Chain A
Amino acid sequence: MTGERRDPLIIDLSETPLPPAPTPAEAPPPPDGAPAAAERALRGVGRPGLSAMGRLFWISALGLVGIWVATGIEGFLRELFTRSDWLGWGATALAAVLAVTLAGFIIRELAALARVQRVGEIRRRATLAASGAEKADDVLDALARLYRGRPAMDEPLARVDAARPDTPDAAALLAVAERTLLAPLDQRAERAVARAARKVAAITAVVPMPAADVLAVLVVNLAMIREVAEIYGGRAGALGSWRLLRTVAAHLVATGAVAATDDLLGPMVGGGVLGKLSRRFGEAAVNAALTARVGVAAVEVCRPLPFAARPAPRAAGLVLDALRGWRETPESSAGETPTAPRRKG
């Protein structure tokens, strides 16, 4: 025993006062090690990327395959030269064209990726600017660079520029930019999401094969993410889309799939009640809701400014719009055909 007191001790504080101590309601919890669940919660926030070993593996594998392809082509060209010079030169020219177009592809993908990243960077700086940590003017300049090439954006950009001198407050300036520049884009993006949700619902309700509708939902969702990204920030490219998909998935996980308190449809169909009554319509509604949520997440990820002045879209509203749009003509999307989705996924 380590000098521990053995017999009980009872002190009446009305006789022997002790220094003040917190009440039970204020006292800190005992210093236990956090159990697995809490750790998981912390870890879930930061998604683990590739480990150093995994990265080494992919780099070396890619390098080997590259060398194999290059030496293979080289050997093939040599062989052609031994047969006939004409054949050799022709093939060499084709190979050169291939290399140039490949480089073009890569450059385009990298540019698209950079664009996606730039939108994220603008959003990050806008968040800082709203609290005064960054100059709002710089954010507006970046936004202007992003949208300069679009004819439809010339007029709104000019209006924002006009508002700059007489709006000294950073948050107010950002609000002006959000309302002028992004409001039309928001409407287009919401319409794209609602269209995708409706498409998904229709496909699930009509396509009888379970595996086929899963594939269709995936394709429609990917296309929707690309479309949303294009509306807000220009072409995303394959690499950029993949990256967006990952970001959207991470965003969905981080926000728990939805800001579900405002979500009506989730609990209604989530329990599978409707699914038990009629499997196909239950699945149609679930898939539509799912697509709307993915769409909302995509909007939040792709929008260059966070939702501050304008309300963020709600998944439930989008789903209801989408499903109602089957019959009625929604006022918001005047260009839509009233009956059924017309475009292919």
Chain B
Amino acid sequence: MALGGFGLGGLADDLLDGLDRLREGAASAFDPTLRLGVTGLSGAGKTVFITSLVASLLDRNRMRLLGAEAEGRIEAAMLRPQPDPDVPRFAIENHLSALAATPPRWPESTRSVSQIRVAIRFRPGSWLSGLAGPATLNLDIVDYPGEWLLDLPLIEQEYDDWAAGALAAAQSPARRAHAAGWHKALAAAEPSAPHDEAVAEALAGAYRDYLFACRQAGLSALAPGRFLMPGDLAGSPALTFAPLPRPERGARGSLYAEMHDRFDAYRRVVAKPFFRNHFARLDRQVVLIDALGAVAGGPRALADLTATMSETLAAFRHGRPGWLDRVTGARRIDRILFVASKADHLHHAQHGRLARLVEAMLAEAARRAAFRGAKTRGMAIAAIRATAEQDVTEKGKRVGLVRGTRASDGHEVAIYPGALPEDPASLLAAAGGAMPGEAPASWPDMSYATFQFAPPRWPHGEGPPHLRLDQAVEFLIGDRLE
């Protein structure tokens, strides 16, 4: 074949020059991205999960069950500028330095939305595409206060329904005691009277106090979320409302009508934008649940958490993306991982039961998602493992302890938090009632302890110790690293 030299040399030079120029800027624009939604109420461990996930992707020495890492195909990972310039960056450095401080501290609870992007460079798994060279996957993760998640069910609710539900829940045995102050303020207010800002603020304040009291008692259904964690909206009219019983005639300008308007404003300016900006375009979702904490909190806490999570998850777009979604660029969540966080508080012999408990709690949501074609799985993990296991023999019985440092005083402590039942149904049945609030105050024949462990120490340059974080990551993004 006679291939003449018609400008090929010049073309080759242009080619190399062009490659050099384009490499930095344009290459990242075409890299595929994957948005991972980390979902969980406050205290479920979102921030720790994200911190550990990012740190473990950067230093992958403990990620041996992440398939691409086990096959040695991940070359490097680094933090990249996030896509949304108007959202603060997730303060991974601060969180890691808190964990590395003396004494080590857990990252502070989240007060506003933040975002981070990890770029993973890997060699594709099939050798045919492997020949084309390494590929890059951008993993976008959003952190936000867990309280705000409670707003998602409000998006579809009307004020009348929400107020009626909130008023009824406050009458339940689980909540009546906490609602005393608010009920007093409610009795003093007249819904059909003309709007008075002082009355509105008193009602909203009393309702907020009631929600805080409920949270102290370990309950989860605490909408609206901004009452607990207002962000930059503290004191604004959109946050100054409370549920009121529907009057006979809700005249224009009455207190009830004003509350109605403000609830709508809250949905419009708070709940909907939050959902649209951060949850409507997810590819994968991990649902974190502090199931052990809820079990220790008693049947009421467990029932409340189950109901709240089920309601919240209904807001997401689950299912396999159809051709129409692909054409329009819409995204759907096609994999959901239900995670019992803080599994390090339990000996691994009980981890299977913990995972089954979470699966049973979210069975409704999982069925819904599976029906639309999404893959779901339950898993007990500890994003950062604060304990090691130790077996002791006590009166001839073997007890599997977990051993770590107590957060409060730095003492070394070994605990056994109690035996979870083999069949989670027995727990859920004991917790179940007509309404979450109707559940009994304590377990009939079991008791559980919770505990605050201090973070572990681990050598610099290594990923944090964890339990099954690598398996969780494999389920969530493993197929995109093939």
Contact = CB atoms under 8 A, between A and B. Distances in A.
A267 B399 contact: no
A274 B5 contact: no
Contact of A14 (B130, B411, B457): B411
Which of B11, B20, B406, B474 neighbours the largest number of chain A CB atoms within 10 Å of its CB?
B11
A24 B417 contact: no
B85 interface: no
Interface string B440-473: 0000001111010000111100100101100100
Contact of B415 (A6, A9, A205, A340): A9
B65 A34 contact: yes
B16 to A, nearest CB: 7
Contacts of A14: 411-412
B457 A326 contact: no
B351 A40 contact: no
A7 B19 contact: no
Contacts of A339: 4-5, 9
Contact of B22 (A270, A274, A328): A274
Contacts of B416: 5, 8-10
| Count class of interface residues, chain B | 35 or more
Contact of B127 (A201, A257, A340, A341): A257
Interface in A1-32: 1, 3-14, 18-19, 21-27, 29-32
A340 B418 contact: no
A340 to B, nearest CB: 5
Interface in A149-189: none
Nearest to A280: B11
| Count class of interface residues, chain A | 35 or more
B4 A340 contact: yes
Contact of B403 (A1, A18, A265, A286): A18
A268 B23 contact: yes
Contact of B458 (A10, A25, A266): A25
A253 B404 CA distance: 43
A44 B386 CA distance: 35
Interface in A35-52: 35-38, 40-41, 44
A284 interface: yes
Contacts of B3: 202-203, 206, 340-341
Contact of A281 (B4, B11, B121, B447): B11
Nearest to A42: B70
B419 A4 contact: yes
A144 interface: no
Contacts of A328: 9
A18 B414 contact: yes
Interface stretch (B148-156, B187-195, B269-277, B387-395): B387-395
Contact of A261 (B1, B75, B130, B388): B75
A290 interface: yes
Given A30-B467, A35-B474, A284-B15, A25 B456 contact: yes
Which of B23, B64, B446 neighbours the largest number of chain A CB atoms within 10 Å of its CB?
B23
Contacts of B412: 12-14
A23 B135 CA distance: 37
Interface in B111-135: 121, 123, 127, 130-135
B471 A327 contact: no
Which of A21, A205, A260 neighbours the largest number of chain B CB atoms within 10 Å of its CB?
A21
B65 to A, nearest CB: 6
A276 to B, nearest CB: 7
Nearest to A276: B30
Contacts of B86: none
Interface string A328-345: 100000000001110011
Which of A22, A38, A252 neighbours the largest number of chain B CB atoms within 10 Å of its CB?
A38
A13 B30 contact: no
A84 B30 CA distance: 76
A302 interface: no
B185 to A, nearest CB: 39
Contact of A27 (B127, B389, B418): B389
Nearest to A337: B5
Contacts of A125: none
B12 interface: yes
Contacts, number: 228
A269 B415 CA distance: 55
B394 A5 contact: yes
B73 interface: yes
Contacts of B12: 201, 323-324, 326-327
A222 to B, nearest CB: 15
Contacts of B15: 274, 281, 284-285, 323
A277 interface: yes
B66 interface: yes
A37 B403 contact: no
B84 interface: no
B108 interface: no
Contacts of A34: 65
A256 interface: yes
A64 B39 CA distance: 64
A320 interface: yes
B8 A37 contact: no
B418 A327 contact: no
Contact of A3 (B9, B18, B387, B397): B397
A90 B418 CA distance: 95
Contact of A267 (B23, B72, B392, B413): B23
A289 interface: yes
A9 B400 CA distance: 10
A1 B350 CA distance: 13
Contacts of A234: none
A273 interface: yes
Contact of B449 (A1, A8, A36, A253): A8
Contacts of A276: 30
A72 interface: no
A285 B127 CA distance: 18
- For the complex of A and B, the 6 pairs showing the least CB-CB separation, nearest first, are A37-B67, A266-B133, A327-B9, A270-B133, A8-B449, A339-B5
Given A32-B65, A339-B5, 18 more contacts: A8-B418, A8-B449, A23-B456, A24-B388, A25-B462, A29-B467, A32-B471, A37-B474, A38-B65, A41-B70, A205-B11, A206-B3, A267-B27, A267-B121, A281-B15, A323-B12, A326-B9, A339-B9
20 contacts: A4-B419, A8-B418, A10-B414, A10-B451, A11-B413, A13-B413, A24-B386, A24-B456, A25-B458, A25-B462, A30-B351, A32-B471, A36-B67, A44-B71, A205-B11, A270-B133, A271-B27, A273-B23, A276-B30, A327-B9
